Amino acid sequence: MDDRDLIERMRREIQEGVIGKTKDAADWLVNKARQAVGLDTSGYTRKSILKNREAQRTRTFMGEMYFYGYDPKWKKVLPYYDMFPLVIPIERYSDGFLGMNLHYLIPPERAVLLNTLSAHMTNNKYNTSTKITATYQTIIGASRLERAKPTIHRYLYSHVRTKFIYVHPSEWDAAIYLPAAKWSRKK
């Protein structure tokens, strides 16, 4: 059974009520998803993600997924912010980009959003040619993408503090469960 088959089986079991809505069931689901893609997240830290030299990039491309260190320009007025976002850039500007930071959703909601976004992918190969093609206008105009709205944030290149860490499409399902967000509150 491949990874996608296992995830599809888990989705069916949830819909059929085999898995209850308890913390144990949620933990079970997260662990199964991690196992399905061969990922044990217990050893993953922001530091270890950043050390992955093969994944380091100096720029982003629309529709790909990245981790990176970020120091927001408006941190003194934002009630809270993520200093290590997991972002899919959707619109480019001369000084930065608009992106969906998946950390603004809880992991199960991230999975649902990623599944919904699969209708807006260049292909189903989950290789380097796979990209999300949803734009800001697509997201704002589609009720089925309503859950993406709180994830949309503007990022400035001048406030990026690390290299971008590219997440291969075959690892998207695992990356959304990594405990990598670094939340900070207004000071």
- CA neighbours within 13 Å on the CB side: how many for 123? 7
pLDDT at 19: 44
| pLDDT, greater one: 144 or 17 | 144
In this predicted structure, the answer to whether residue 37 has a pLDDT above a threshold of 50 is no
Structure token digits, residue 102: 């998946």
Average pLDDT, the chain: 83
Per DSSP bridges, beta strands 183-185 and 80-82 are antiparallel
101, 89 contact by CB (below 8 A)? no
Domain ranges for the chain, please list them.
1-36, 45-185
Q: Which residue type sits at 101?
A: N
| pTM recorded for the entire structure | 0.76
pLDDT score at 185: 87
Quick one: pLDDT band at residue 53, thresholds 50, 70, 90? confident
pLDDT of 1 higher than 70: no
